[in-house]
Structure 1
């Protein structure tokens, strides 16, 4: 499932807000769904560039939630995260740009560090009891994987779950029914999460084996909302514990290599061997 491209900010933000508000609250039995993850926006003092940036976004769509606003890596602008996208708003609130901002020398996306911070905070809102976990005894790494029971690459990933575990990787699944809230896909995922044995039910669902239809108080709606806010473009989406995006499906050995490289990069930054990306945006994290 792809996010709607935000080529026309006014139209896109409006459609994004409608999509979220249109999620049916009665797709399952009353009380069977959790609510979307609460949005707690930071407070910005009136007259500050951050307040003007948020106000500028609200002029386009008054109902949209702004996850974060802070200094941008370029002077005269603020950097804002809205619905998993990074925007740049001039400090006077008159101009807005949407898209990736690259450092030519390092060839890095300067919006990625702030997105990592947002993802990290959002992942903390999903407790371990609301995840379906496949883990080796002493994992070297832990990843959060937004998954769907119908998508082909989600099924391929899960068919190799034992190999990921052998690579020292613990996989914590969270739900993202890509067909949307209230869809048959959504209802099937609710049944998985409400099962007395969610691990088995998830495996059965991904292998087209029948699972009993069930409802209960469950996190599927909330996790779907978090997926939209972390910038999910398709399932599966693999995130590290610190919010870095490793992409979609990777074979077990390549995922382990990607995690090793990510850990090595963090250690190099910590030891001062390389410059951290987008250091100018540190105040927004």
Structure 2
């Protein structure tokens, strides 16, 4: 088996209330299925996302994590990645679907709500980056932006303060977005310049943070390519341009 699959094995859990589940009938709708899940763990929030590629299973979101599957009879819960066996390779089913979701989400964002570092000349590619001002690897990635711009890559920043909307990271992000010169302000904060906090009427930072949660973003930097693919973590400008096919 490939290494990626060994690192992401299926974990099949039988509910501690198995006797209750076995005695119940097959759920007629999403709510009945959620009720079964609630009978096992009432402290969690569940959302049925729809039928999955595994026969007899539905995609399930628990809290902000959408990497679960529940059987249509409510007896089994799967946690992990599903791989489609193809000719010569394994493909991650969830990632393929999520790429389209991310692509559509990025296309609907108002560009006026983003902090954009444009390509120096002709734009050859665009990346959207969920960033946390206080994240060390986000700061490291920001130092690669001039090289990315020189290579024809436009960098669009979205705010994702990992500590939440009550944190200093959120206040810094809000200050950058509210600044008269957002690019300069964002750069100053990433360079460790703790300037006075600003406030304005924008909801962009909070909305982008919530969007990140909906898209399954849990760490930063989270780089989304034009096709919706997710590149997690720090990459050099050279590595990113190779991933995007701009360099061999």
- For the aligned pair, the TM-score class normalised by the smaller chain equals 0.7 to 0.9
Gaps in structure 1 of 5+ consecutive residues:
1-6, 10-45, 262-285
Q: Which moved more, 1:136-145 or 1:186-195?
A: 136-145
Name the structure where strand makes up a greater proportion of residues.
Answer: 2
Q: Which moved more, 1:163-172 or 1:226-235?
A: 226-235
Of 118, 131, 140, the residue aligned with 2:101 is: 118
Question: How far off is 1:65 after superposition?
Answer: 6.7
User: Number of residues paired by the alignment?
Assistant: 217
- Pair 1:99 & 2:77 matched: no
Per-residue CA deviation, residues 222-275 of structure 1 (Å, 9 max, x unaligned), is 1111112212231100012332112221111110111229xxxxxxxxxxxxxx
Question: How far off is 1:117 after superposition?
Answer: 3.0
Question: How far off is 1:54 after superposition?
Answer: 5.5
Q: Which residue of 2 aligns with 1:221?
A: 206
Aligned residue for 2:245, secondary structure, equals helix
Aligned CA distance change for structure 1 residues 55 and 253 (closer, same or farther; 3 Å): farther
Aligned CA distance change for structure 1 residues 92 and 226 (closer, same or farther; 3 Å): same
On the 8 A contact 2:178/2:200 being kept in 1, the answer is yes
On the 8 A contact 2:34/2:46 being kept in 1, the answer is no
Question: How far off is 1:176 after superposition?
Answer: 0.9
Q: Which residue of 2 aligns with 1:80?
A: 60
Per-residue CA deviation, residues 11-50 of structure 1 (Å, 9 max, x unaligned), is xxxxxxxxxxxxxxxxxxxxxxxxxxxxxxxxxxx945x6
Of 162, 166, 181, the residue aligned with 2:165 is: 181
TM-score w.r.t. the length of structure 2 is 0.76
Larger Rg: 2
Aligned residue for 1:246, secondary structure, equals strand
Q: Which residue of 2 aligns with 1:207?
A: 191
Q: Which residue of 2 aligns with 1:158?
A: 142
Per-residue CA deviation, residues 196-221 of structure 1 (Å, 9 max, x unaligned), is 11000001111112433211122111
Question: How far off is 1:113 after superposition?
Answer: 1.7
Aligned residue for 2:244, secondary structure, equals helix
Q: Whole-Å Cα distance in 1 between the matches of residues 139 and 224 of structure 2? A: 18
Aligned CA distance change for structure 1 residues 52 and 77 (closer, same or farther; 3 Å): farther
Root-mean-square deviation (CA, aligned residues, Å) is 2.8
Q: Which residue of 2 aligns with 1:277?
A: none
Aligned CA distance change for structure 1 residues 221 and 256 (closer, same or farther; 3 Å): same
Aligned CA distance change for structure 1 residues 160 and 186 (closer, same or farther; 3 Å): same
Gaps in structure 2 of 5+ consecutive residues:
1-10, 14-26
Question: How far off is 1:155 after superposition?
Answer: 0.8
Aligned residue for 1:111, secondary structure, equals helix
Question: How far off is 1:111 after superposition?
Answer: 1.6
